[in-house]
């Protein structure tokens, strides 16, 4: 047989001690009150105080049965010694139990417990103490205050738990949106280029085998890059698993030349212009800037009907500006998730974005991303 862990043995032993103390509590308390008529003995008072503490400790674990024990013990004590001091102790200790139950149990449990506690207290005072209206009102108010304080604590705890749950759900939703943006920005661009190259290859495969071969090479390169990006993303999602591969670097503005080359293979020339002094960017700003350019250029390839576009990156004082414009048909607005994803990325970084047809024709995407003070 397997030996029980030492911690479990200690826990079981401690629980047994607490229950033994709780069961013994009414007997010792009654005996203490019985001997109190001729003067309290120090040992009896000390034993009663120790058992009171142990019983209240057990109250934290099993409040309902312990509350019954407290009511019985102090009612019996009041029967033996019918004084206002004992009645006060009965009210104080049993109200503590009622308040704790209100703080840890639902109202359908705590309200009946408070009512029973109040009934026992009132009947005890009426039967064994010279009761006045003020004393009875004090008993009622004491139970009411104890229950309301406990119920208030329970309400605050429930509210805090709801806020934590809401924050967790919001974090999950934000992570899902981030993953959706990454998938859209990465896959939409690659699939758009692959579709165009496949169309070109299909049209010239009989007449221009060399061009068809170039198209197939471009499809292969784009497909491999997309697969590598998907592999990095999937690895990131399961990076806590054993044996997960190390993550590759996320793309940034330093990869715009490669993006321009891939877009050129799709039939659209990208004129890249960088203004201002280049400086290291925070990873989230660098990635978002690249994804914004990627999505804007993808829209040019898919919708603009033009063979060129301009990308301008401005390293300004405290901000990074991005402009992508073309002279095509004006693009599309209000459909798909590309522009929505760009707005979300910019919004998360505290920037702003405008996207729409230009008055003289074409389409323009302009974003401004503020930079932290450390990189200004």
Q: What are phi and psi of 323, to 5 degrees?
A: -135, 130
| Predicted local distance difference test score (pLDDT) of residue 262 | 82
Q: Where in the chain is the domain with CATH 3.30.565.10?
A: 267-376
| Predicted local distance difference test score (pLDDT) of residue 244 | 45
Q: What is the mean pLDDT of residues 162-171?
A: 80
CATH class for the region spanning 267-376: alpha beta
pLDDT band at 84 (very low <50, low <70, confident <90, very high): confident
The gap from C-alpha 150 to its chain's centroid, in whole angstroms, comes to 27
Q: What is the mean pLDDT of residues 272-296?
A: 87
| Predicted local distance difference test score (pLDDT) of residue 83 | 85
Which has the closest alpha carbon to 55: 94, 8, 88? 94
Q: How many CA atoms lie within 13 A of 83 on its CB side?
A: 8
Residue 4 has pLDDT above 70, yes or no: no
Q: Which two tokens stand for residue 268?
A: 């659209």
Residue 375 has pLDDT above 70, yes or no: no
């Amino acid at each position: 047989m397997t030996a029980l862990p030492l911690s479990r043995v200690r826990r079981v032993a401690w629980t047994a001690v607490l229950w033994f103390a709780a069961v013994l509590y009414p007997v010792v308390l009654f005996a203490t009150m019985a001997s109190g008529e001729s003067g309290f003995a120090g040992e009896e008072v000390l034993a009663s105080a120790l058992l009171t503490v142990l019983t209240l400790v057990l109250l934290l674990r099993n409040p309902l049965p312990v509350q019954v024990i407290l009511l019985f013990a102090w009612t019996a004590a009041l029967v033996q010694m019918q004084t206002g001091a004992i009645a006060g102790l009965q009210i104080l200790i049993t109200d503590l139990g009622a308040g704790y139950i209100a703080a840890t149990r639902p109202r359908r449990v705590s309200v009946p417990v408070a009512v029973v506690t109040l009934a026992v207290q009132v009947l005890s005072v009426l039967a064994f103490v010279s009761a006045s209206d003020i004393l009875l009102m004090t008993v009622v108010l004491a139970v009411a205050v104890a229950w309301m304080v406990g119920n208030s604590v329970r309400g605050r705890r429930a509210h805090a738990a709801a806020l934590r749950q809401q924050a967790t759900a919001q974090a999950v939703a934000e992570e899902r949106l981030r993953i959706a943006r990454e998938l859209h920005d990465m896959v939409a661009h690659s699939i758009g280029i692959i579709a165009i190259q496949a169309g070109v290859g299909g049209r010239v495969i009989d007449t221009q085998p060399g061009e068809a071969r170039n198209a197939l090479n471009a499809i292969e390169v784009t497909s491999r890059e997309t697969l590598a990006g998907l592999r990095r993303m999937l690895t990131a999602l399961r990076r806590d698993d054993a044996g997960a591969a190390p993550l590759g670097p996320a793309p940034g503005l330093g990869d715009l030349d490669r993006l321009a080359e891939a877009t050129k293979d799709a039939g659209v020339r990208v004129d890249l212009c960088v203004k201002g002094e280049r400086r290291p960017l925070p990873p989230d700003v660098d990635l978002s800037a690249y994804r914004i350019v990627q999505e804007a250029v993808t829209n040019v390839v898919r919708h603009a009907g033009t063979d060129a576009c301009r990308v301008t990156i401005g390293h300004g004082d405290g901000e990074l500006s991005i402009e992508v414009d073309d002279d095509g048909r004006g693009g599309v607005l209000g459909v798909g998730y590309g522009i929505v994803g760009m707005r979300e990325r910019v919004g998360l970084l505290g920037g702003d974005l405008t996207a729409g047809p230009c008055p003289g024709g074409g389409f323009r995407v302009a974003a401004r991303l503020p930079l932290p003070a450390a990189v200004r």
